[in-house]
Structures are given as C-alpha cells and as structure tokens.
Chains A and B, each alone.
Chain A
C-alpha cells in the first residue's frame, strides 16, 4: 500500500516517472472529491466520457462516465461499470462498495474484496483499458457519495456536493428549477439530460406524470405508500423542507372544524333541539378557530405554490390528491354557512358567486377529464375521495339557497346530481380497472355519506321544505352511514394522515341533516338519533384532534415526507442479473429484489447495479458474489 502511495507521490513530484496507470489515492487527494469544489471541476468529472487510462491528470482520472447512459439504459449491449483503472476515486469509494467489475475490451475481471492494494496489484497487470460509460447515473452519484457519506444513500441526482448544496436536491420541485446548473443536467445522463434540460431551459414547464405512473408507483387507499420496487426522486431518509411535506389534504382540518361549527350552530338554533340548551358561543368559538385555521393553512399552501410549484402540480396530477383541491373552497363555503348570527345575519349574494367561481372552474376541468380527457378516465381514477369533487356542488347549492338565490343553486345541484350518479355507480361497481379502492375499510369510505346528506339539505333549502326528494337523499345517507358504522371494527391498521380530518365532515354532515329532518318530523326517534349522531361526530372530531396533537408534538411526524409527489417519471429499470449470490448479507433483500426484478430485460450485467446494491447496504461487508457478464 505504501509503496503505491509513494509511487503516486513520486509521480506527482516528477512527471517523468513511469506513468502509473493505476493510482491509488485517497479520496481527499482527489481534487474535488469529498470536498467542496468548484463547479467546473465537478463538471469535468462528470462530463468526461470515455478516456484512456493513460490520461493522467487528476481530473482525467474521473471514473464516472455518464455519457451514453442513455444508450445503456436502452441498449442491449454489455454495460460496464466505468471503473477507470486509476481507480482513484473509484477505488476509494470502492472500499465501501467492495465490488467492481472491470471491463476492458472484452475481458472481465472479477474482483472480490478489493482493497486498494489489491486493486493496485491487479491493475498493474493491465496496461490499457478503456473506461466504459457507467450505466446508471444515480449509481455514480451514490458511488461518489458513498465516499463522502455512506449514510446518505439517497438518490441525489441533482447535486453531488451534498454537504454544501443539500437543498439543491429539491430544486426540481421548486418553481423555476431552471436555477439548476448545467452540471446537474449532465449528472443524470442523457436520457435524463433532456428532461433536466427541459427543466433548466424551459423552467416554466412542468412535467406531467400520467395517471398510470401514479398507480404503478403508489399503493394504499390514499395512494401515498410507495411500492417496494419504486424509487423516489428525493432522499428517503432525510427530512424534506416543510413546504414540500405540506400536502393539500391539510385542508381537511378546515373542513372538519368548520363543519363542526355549522353543526353547533344548527343545534343552537333549531326548534327540535331546544331541549338540549346548546350555547351559541360554541359555534362562535369553533367558527373563529376554523377561520384562523383556513387563513393559516391557505397562507402556507400559497407559499408552497409560490416556491414549490412543481410539487403542487404533481399533487394536482395525483388521482387522489386532485380531489382535495376542492377542499379549500368547500371550507370557505362551510365558513359562510356556519357564520354565527352575532357576526353577520345575512351575507351578500355576490359572495356566493365569488365563492363558487373556483369550484365551478375546477369541476369543469375535472369532470371533463373524466369524460373527454385522455388518460384520466373515470373507470380508472375513481376513488372515494372523488366525492370531494361532487360535494362542492351540493354545498354551494345549500349556501346559495340559504342566501335566497334560486337558479344558481339549482344549476349546481343538477350538475352535482348527474355526476354523483355516475360516480356512485362507478364506485359501487368496484371495477377491476379501478385499483385505488382499498380492499380493507378505511376512513375514506365515510366520504360516501357526505354527498347524499348534503344533497338532501340542499334540496330541502331549494324547494323550501324537506320534501320527498330531500327525504330520499337523507335516507340513502343514513343507510350508508349505518352500513359503515356496523363495520367499525374493520377500520383498523391504517396510518394516520391529515386527510382523516376530511373524513370527519361527512359524519357531521349526516348529523346536521338529521337535525333538519327532526325539525320536520319531530318525535322521540328522530330526536334521539340527532343526539346520537351529533355525539358521535363530536367524539370523532375530538379523537382526531387528539391524534393530530399527539402526532404533531409527541411523535413529531404529523408531516412526513410526502412520498406521493416524489415518484420518478419511469419505473426504475431492473438491470442487474445476478448469477450467484454468495454470502447473503443482511441486506440481501436488495439483491433478491434485483433477482426478482431481473427479467428478460437483462441482457447484460450491470455491475453498477451491484454497486448500487452494495451501496444500499449499510454494512461495509464485502459481498462475495460472483458476477459474470452474461449476455443472454
């Protein structure tokens, strides 16, 4: 080892020394490696394509060749790790990775444990080789990164200089990610280059992920759990910026609280519940707090829109999250409905038009997509959260009717009813093409109750009395509620998320509808039903509140990393073909994953994937695995 080093030093001192093709240098000696560097150095490092090992400049000993990555990912040729023979940086970071395939010409060198000396000694035998392009950019990054921080195996495609430019990784999610420098576009390789170039050159454009991509990459009733085989664009184990972690479903809190405000107002003012002697101040308190919440959450989300527009657009194209874009406007409508009598007795009619305009525009877009748009056909994207896009119509109709308008509310009611029928049938069918419906019960199913209960109230207001149409809708809501309530013990085992707030408002809505019904049909049954449903609704909101507080302050994971928006544009290509697997390390599952993943695509071995796999292992054990380049 030492003589190698001396050799190197000698080389540095006296250029006329025999050019050592093999240099073993530590990471610290490699310019730009493991240290904060000038951008251009890094650029050069990543821009170099093939190069002869005889290139002796420190820069030239770049191991990474990112050129041709694109070809490689598509090609059927053999793919090699570019471990350039001055394995300098590679050798260095290989000491963590322990594995390498050195391809040159058409001979493969299999090396097991490769300490630097071994590398040096082995490589002494070769005089010439070509460093081949590396197949996978991310692998390179990881390879490089491993030298720096093995604990950070995440996929930082945006910036190799993790220590200084940590947040650059989130640049692609920022608005005008064109601030990315050119080097980063090279980093990702050609096929990503174009994409990143697009990002850099046309910063205003956002990539639209097709709906299929979301379904492929995510699973779960809220489509927020990453599938095992998928990768995300942002580091998994690092806490992302707060704004990136703030989902649109946070507006569910506003929905929950403001609907409670309406319920307590109705309880205080209805004739049939006078026996309860409800204090109207409860409504005032709830209303003010929901007003504050709406303001705060809207402000934060506005910040997200300003600073992380790409993330917002990814949420918009998410099949479940898109429905939550109705939530802010529904919350505002609830606020208008629940306004305490002490604050304002009558609201101006123009307020209704102002509040309904965004809902109307959104639903023009979304319903049109169901019927006419390309990929987002209803049979595929329908999920219980789609009820949120329907409920807005009924809530708007209810508000308009309470303000005294006639035609506008009826318009919205008609549109909502027609689309509700379509959605209801689709969800009940549980079509095989519809993968978002969870097999187990999940609180999202309570959204089924929302639309008929609000529709019954809206129709009653429009018609002026709780007539047959309203009663029919109310009974449907009641039936759905009971059919879910008797299955309450199946609602288990789901991770809490902020969207659960949104699922509390249907219960509150059913309670309010029951109050209205009991005003018309006053007897002991309806009164007791009122009390029971209101109690259940209040209890649910209280428990969700407690859970939220626990998660926020005790557990600290109220806003986990929002995986759902960070999925990659394309499925990661499983390009490793393992021939043997000896020495199953503790991180074997990665290897097995590749084993399973390697399918007919595998025409070549990509040892880079090996590197990646090893990289993922947090142990520094050497994987004694035999890899052979196999061309099938």
Chain B
C-alpha cells in the first residue's frame, strides 16, 4: 500500500519532469521517421520505371514497410501525447516556445509529420474520405500558424524577418508545401496550388534573407548547426509538391531538386561547420535525417522521370544515405536515452523571456 502510494507521486514527478524538459524540437524524431515511411512507400510503389535498380527495391517485403509505418505512427503519437501533457501542465513554457525565434518554427513539425504519415499510409488511398478529413484536421493548424507568423514578418514591429530569420524558419515553408502535396494527391488542385504559392513566396523571401546573412540576424549557435540541413529540405519538398501538382517531374521540379542537390554538396564540403555540434549526442542530430530523406524521395521521382543510369545511381545513393543516417540515429538514441532529455534543469527553468538561450531547443 505504501509502495503504491509512493509510486503515484513518483509517477507524477516523472511525468512533470519529462513534460517540462520536452520541447517541440523533439518532433524532429517523428519528422525523420515519417519521412522514412514515405520514402519506403515511394520506393515500393508500382511505377512505370522499368529500370533494374528500381525493380530490385520492390523485392523487399511489404511487411517491412508496414512495420516502419507503424513505428513512425507510434513515435508520433507518443510525442504528441507528451506535448499535449506539456501544454496542459506547463503552458507557460509552451508560450515561451512560441515566442522564441527558433522554437516557434518547430510548432509546425508535428503537423508536417502527420501530413507525411498521411501521405505514407498503406491503409487507405488518397481519394478516400478518411484522407480528406484528416487532411483538413492537419491543415487548419498550419494555416493558423501561417497567418500568425507570416503576418508578423511584415507587420509587427519587434519581430522582423531580418532579425529573426534563421534556417529553422524554413519549416514553415515545408509545412505549406507538405500540405500542398497532400492536397494534390487528393486531387484538390486549387488548394494545392494555393498552399504551394504561399509556401514558395515565403520561401523566396526567406532564401534571400538567409543568404544575405544580414548583420541583424544572429549566427546559428554551434549546437544548432545540424539545422542547416533544412536548406535541402525546402527545395526538395517544393519539387515534390510541384511534381504532384503538375502530374510529372517537369523542369521546375527538376530545377528545385538540383538546387537542393547543390546545397547538399555545399554543406557536405564543409564538415568543420558541424564539428562542434557532433561532440555529444543530442536530439538536434535528428535534424540530419529528415532533409536527406526528402531529397532521396525527390531523387526517386527524378529517376523515374529521367530514366537513365546516372539518375538511378543517384537515387540509390541518396536513399542509402538517408536510410543509413536514420538507422544510426535510431541506434544512437536507443543507446543514449539518458542524453535525450537534458539533465540540467537550469536551461529549462531559467527561461522566462523569449530571448532565452537557444539551448532549450537543442
């Protein structure tokens, strides 16, 4: 009896601490897993691609894919639950995240994950009513966040884009583009084009701003360097979205894919940029996997369109890299579960203002 009584407050304490240390950045994990599921679905789906490489991949058993999808679903559900708890128990912290220039962008991450999962689902096709309802359920929060955040870019005095722009801001763009792709899969062309236009316009502004590296914008702290890979994610997502809208992987999609390829090469040539952030395992490492997976999916579509060997080799290479990275990350996470949630509470407790240290997102 006493044990039971002592267990209950212990459990409460555990829940409290976990939800306190948790933050939206953890949704990187679900982003990666859901995009992996989408990659496997894309690789697996029947296509008119008769190339040998592609056929080889189709030999993989269907069950593997379903397993992966279930894992992704599980992770997303659990993460969402924890975040819900956090909203109830520590609403102040959630508000602070919203006001933080990096944290606010990760509020898109759960919805992107849900949309990707929706597109990857093996249980119903895009033309069903379930898909339709779920799409609406996930799009509304994205639209709400859009209106709030994009509106702030050009109207509000304090939070100017020139000061707050950072690579994670591309998550909002990715959110719109993911919604556009999901809508296009559904056949809703107009909403797809609408979301696409929204995403691309802001992507243009953001791209220029991020490249300029205006004096006002602070440099990205070392621990957050992996988010530079988000530079690949946005054009890849745009390419996929346009591919779904226009029906085939045409010039625009190709150019967007090439842009993401170039940015990938650019980042890969600079390993020293990431050296400091690779010293200790933390959840930011999951930021590597999602963009690579998106690029792999785009390369799959590209190879399907172009049909020559180089493209297929590229597809295999990129897919292999993304799978490898995700696997490694999963293993590392499993081995370092204690490092997942930061030990020191000082970071979390000390942030009372929006300008607190970015380490809470790390």
Q: Which residues of A contact B (CB under 8 A)?
A: 364-365, 367-368, 370-372, 377-380, 382, 407, 410-411, 413-415, 417-419, 421-422, 425-426, 431, 433, 462-463
Contact of B255 among A372, A382, A417, A431 (CB under 8 A): A417
B328 within 8 Å of A (CB atoms) = no
CB distance from B31 to the nearest CB of A (A): 22
Chain B residue at minimum C-beta to C-beta distance from A463: B251
- Which residues of B, 261-276, contact A by the 8 Å Cβ criterion? 261-262, 265-267, 269-270, 273
Q: Are A415 and B211 in contact (CB under 8 A)?
A: no
Q: Are B215 and A379 in contact (CB under 8 A)?
A: yes
B214 within 8 Å of A (CB atoms) = yes
Query: CA A425 – CA B254 in complex, angstroms?
Result: 24
Given the complex, which residues of B lie within 8 Å of A433, measured CB to CB?
A: 214-215
Given the complex, which residues of A lie within 8 Å of B310, measured CB to CB?
A: 407
Q: Are B207 and A422 in contact (CB under 8 A)?
A: yes
Binary CB contact string for chain B from 210 to 232 against chain A (1 if under 8 A, 0 otherwise)? 11111100000000000010010
Q: Are B255 and A368 in contact (CB under 8 A)?
A: no
Knowing A410-B255, A425-B208 touch, does A377 contact B213 (C-beta < 8 A)?
Answer: yes
Chain A residue at minimum C-beta to C-beta distance from B254: A410
B256 within 8 Å of A (CB atoms) = yes
Knowing A410-B254, A414-B255 touch, does A370 contact B213 (C-beta < 8 A)?
Answer: yes
Interface residue range, chain B: 20 to 34
Binary CB contact string for chain B from 226 to 269 against chain A (1 if under 8 A, 0 otherwise)? 00100100000000000000000001001110110110011101
Q: Are B270 and A418 in contact (CB under 8 A)?
A: no
Chain B residue at minimum C-beta to C-beta distance from A433: B215
Contact of B212 among A368, A377, A410, A463 (CB under 8 A): A377
Chain A residue at minimum C-beta to C-beta distance from B266: A368
30 sample A-B contacts, Cβ–Cβ < 8 Å, listed by A number: A364-B265, A364-B266, A368-B266, A368-B267, A370-B211, A372-B228, A372-B270, A378-B211, A378-B212, A379-B212, A380-B215, A382-B212, A410-B251, A414-B254, A414-B259, A414-B262, A415-B258, A415-B262, A418-B259, A421-B204, A421-B208, A422-B211, A425-B208, A425-B212, A426-B211, A431-B212, A431-B214, A433-B214, A433-B215, A463-B251
CB distance from A478 to the nearest CB of B (A): 23
B15 within 8 Å of A (CB atoms) = no
CB distance from B264 to the nearest CB of A (A): 11
Chain B residue at minimum C-beta to C-beta distance from A361: B269
Query: CA A368 – CA B207 in complex, angstroms?
Result: 13
B306 within 8 Å of A (CB atoms) = yes
Query: CA A426 – CA B209 in complex, angstroms?
Result: 9
Given the complex, which residues of B lie within 8 Å of A413, measured CB to CB?
A: 255
Contact of A414 among B213, B214, B258 (CB under 8 A): B258
Chain A residue at minimum C-beta to C-beta distance from B310: A407
Query: CA A380 – CA B211 in complex, angstroms?
Result: 11
Given the complex, which residues of A lie within 8 Å of B211, measured CB to CB?
A: 370-371, 378, 419, 422, 426
- Among B212, B254, B256, chain A packs the most CB atoms within 10 A around the CB of B212
Interface residue SS majority, chain A: helix
- Which 7 pairs between the two chains have the least Cβ-Cβ distance? A414-B255, A377-B213, A414-B258, A411-B258, A422-B211, A379-B212, A368-B266
CB distance from A585 to the nearest CB of B (A): 44
Query: CA A378 – CA B261 in complex, angstroms?
Result: 21
Q: Which residues of B contact A (CB under 8 A)?
A: 204, 207-208, 210-215, 228, 231, 251, 254-256, 258-259, 261-262, 265-267, 269-270, 273, 306, 310-311
Given the complex, which residues of A lie within 8 Å of B207, measured CB to CB?
A: 418, 421-422
Given the complex, which residues of A lie within 8 Å of B255, measured CB to CB?
A: 410, 413-414, 417
Query: CA A370 – CA B228 in complex, angstroms?
Result: 14
Query: CA A380 – CA B273 in complex, angstroms?
Result: 21
Given the complex, which residues of B lie within 8 Å of A425, measured CB to CB?
A: 208, 212
CB distance from A210 to the nearest CB of B (A): 15
Given the complex, which residues of B lie within 8 Å of A365, measured CB to CB?
A: 269
Knowing A421-B204, A422-B208, A431-B214 touch, does A411 contact B270 (C-beta < 8 A)?
Answer: no
Knowing A368-B270, A372-B228 touch, does A422 contact B212 (C-beta < 8 A)?
Answer: yes
- Among B211, B254, B256, chain A packs the most CB atoms within 10 A around the CB of B211
Given the complex, which residues of B lie within 8 Å of A377, measured CB to CB?
A: 212-214
Knowing A411-B262, A414-B256, A422-B207 touch, does A364 contact B269 (C-beta < 8 A)?
Answer: yes
Given the complex, which residues of B lie within 8 Å of A415, measured CB to CB?
A: 258-259, 262
Given the complex, which residues of A lie within 8 Å of B261, measured CB to CB?
A: 411
Query: CA A371 – CA B225 in complex, angstroms?
Result: 13
Q: Are A371 and B213 in contact (CB under 8 A)?
A: yes
Query: CA A433 – CA B212 in complex, angstroms?
Result: 11
Chain B residue at minimum C-beta to C-beta distance from A413: B255
- Among B231, B254, B266, chain A packs the most CB atoms within 10 A around the CB of B266
Given the complex, which residues of B lie within 8 Å of A418, measured CB to CB?
A: 207, 259
Q: Are B269 and A410 in contact (CB under 8 A)?
A: no
Query: CA A72 – CA B322 in complex, angstroms?
Result: 58
Given the complex, which residues of A lie within 8 Å of B266, measured CB to CB?
A: 364, 367-368, 371-372
Query: CA A524 – CA B287 in complex, angstroms?
Result: 58
- A sample of 13 more A-B contacts (CB under 8 A), given A368-B267, A410-B251, A431-B214, is A364-B269, A372-B228, A372-B266, A372-B267, A379-B214, A382-B212, A407-B311, A415-B258, A415-B262, A418-B259, A419-B211, A425-B208, A426-B211
Given the complex, which residues of A lie within 8 Å of B204, measured CB to CB?
A: 421
Given the complex, which residues of A lie within 8 Å of B212, measured CB to CB?
A: 377-379, 382, 422, 425-426, 431
CB distance from B138 to the nearest CB of A (A): 29
Given the complex, which residues of A lie within 8 Å of B273, measured CB to CB?
A: 372
Chain A residue at minimum C-beta to C-beta distance from B220: A372
Given the complex, which residues of A lie within 8 Å of B231, measured CB to CB?
A: 371
Given the complex, which residues of A lie within 8 Å of B256, measured CB to CB?
A: 414
Given the complex, which residues of B lie within 8 Å of A419, measured CB to CB?
A: 211
Given the complex, which residues of B lie within 8 Å of A431, measured CB to CB?
A: 212, 214
CB distance from A258 to the nearest CB of B (A): 27
Query: CA A407 – CA B258 in complex, angstroms?
Result: 9
CB distance from A473 to the nearest CB of B (A): 14
Chain A residue at minimum C-beta to C-beta distance from B228: A372
- Among A413, A419, A422, A462, chain B packs the most CB atoms within 10 A around the CB of A422
Q: Are A368 and B269 in contact (CB under 8 A)?
A: yes
Given the complex, which residues of B lie within 8 Å of A370, measured CB to CB?
A: 211, 213
Given the complex, which residues of A lie within 8 Å of B251, measured CB to CB?
A: 410, 462-463
